[in-house]
Structure 1
């Protein structure tokens, strides 16, 4: 009985703390009336200028130590990746075998050993290659301005290991695929669900991997890449 009373007391203290943070004298006994379903009206009715999603994405990702470079075309994108590989002293890279990524990036010009994630090799072998690669290069299906997040749709030729295992993740995208909020991505996934065309997984990546679960000490790169660098193509 003592343990039950202690739990109730802790719960009461916690709820009173939350109530104070919300400007209330005491915790509510009943749930407040809420007529809206989903995001509030003011959020749904937001208007954005054409340049705002990119500006938000750049500011928010760079605040998390990411990099955002804007280029005009695939040739400039390839040159930028080549420059970054030299800066990193990289010897190898693994790329998604993605048609749009191949359209913009020419792997033979990168100056390092390259491999593609596709069905030509067994999955275990691909994972081993990704583990040993200095850089993983992916295409971005959507980027979210409000949080500096990239959304990656995974499949047989777009494996999660490419963005997870190498210490540096380079993500390439079109400017037109940067949206203000996650709602656009959710609508796309709902539409795909209705068509039976969902990706095998969706990765929402916001900055490099970071964790503080070891003695509350912030560590970078424990559960994923140390760096995420992005290239935005102004198509």
Structure 2
């Protein structure tokens, strides 16, 4: 008998389990298929317009700046406005996300668009979020070539594009969305939940921005 068998045997004995695990395996499999949700707070149960309003309010409360544009063609101009307002070079880093690739970056004069994962030398990165969580103003970003995780954390300034229709009231609904988008059993390697810019507090509770990631987060909601 292996050490593993010994340990599992002791666990079964402590739980007073005897015989094969067939029934318990069926119970676990059924539980995984059902993907039960927890209690949803009332503040998250809002109509679509209310979810958008709450998301913008909560994201702003936690230090992000938020703006809304009519369509993807307006995104480059908004990015250019942000770069000028913060005295940043006309350079951004984006992944292979088709929505960002087709946004029309050439409309912004002298803007240099770098592609692929960040190597830490970028001041500004642009990502596309999978979803937004209204009750906390949180962005859900999944890893992959479309939106490399390095862009989420290495640049000083992180600009995130989010479709208004992808905002959900609660986190549970976002996980359902992830499963539907990726397919059951094919979850992304990483799901980053980002609320506001990176921050940390010392023993005297002095807040320091940019401690573990971008010091500024700007969200562009595409209506």
SS of equivalent to 2:48: coil
Q: Residue 225 in 1 paired to residue 214 in 2?
A: yes
Distance 2:44 2:52 in 1: 16
Report deviation, 1:214: 5.5
Contact 2:128 2:161 in 1 (8 A): yes
Displacement of 1:194 in angstroms is 5.6
Aligned match of 2:56? 58
| Superposed displacement of residue 132, structure 1 | 1.5
Give, in whole Å, the separation in 2 of the partners of 1:45 and 1:169: 28
2:136 maps to 147
Give unpaired runs (5+ residues) of structure 2: 1-35
Work out the CA distance in 1 between the residues paired with 2:182 and 2:208. Answer: 37
The structural deviation recorded for 1:39 is: 2.6
Q: Partners in 2 of 1:80 and 1:201 — Cα distance?
A: 28
Q: CA shift at 1:230, angstroms?
A: 0.7
| DSSP 3-state at the match of 1:114 | strand
Retained in 1: the 8 A contact 2:133–2:171? yes
Give the match for residue 86 of structure 1: 84
Could you say which residue in structure 2 is the equivalent of 1:115?
Answer: 114
Structure 1 runs, 4 residues or longer, greater than 3 Å off: 42-47, 189-196, 213-216
Residue 93 of structure 1: CA displacement? 1.1
Aligned equivalent of 2:46: 48
CA separation of 1:51/1:93 partners in 2, compared to 1, >3 Å: closer, same or farther? same
1:50: Cα distance to partner? 2.2
Work out the CA distance in 2 between the residues paired with 1:177 and 1:95.
20
In 2: Cα distance, 1:145 partner to 1:79 partner: 26
RMSD: 2.3
1:102 aligns with 2:91: no
Deviations, residues 115-142 of structure 1 (Å, cap 9, x unaligned) = 111xxxxxxxx442xx111211000110
* Rounded Cα–Cα distance in structure 2 between residues aligned with 1:45 and 1:56: 9
* Residue-pair matches, total: 186
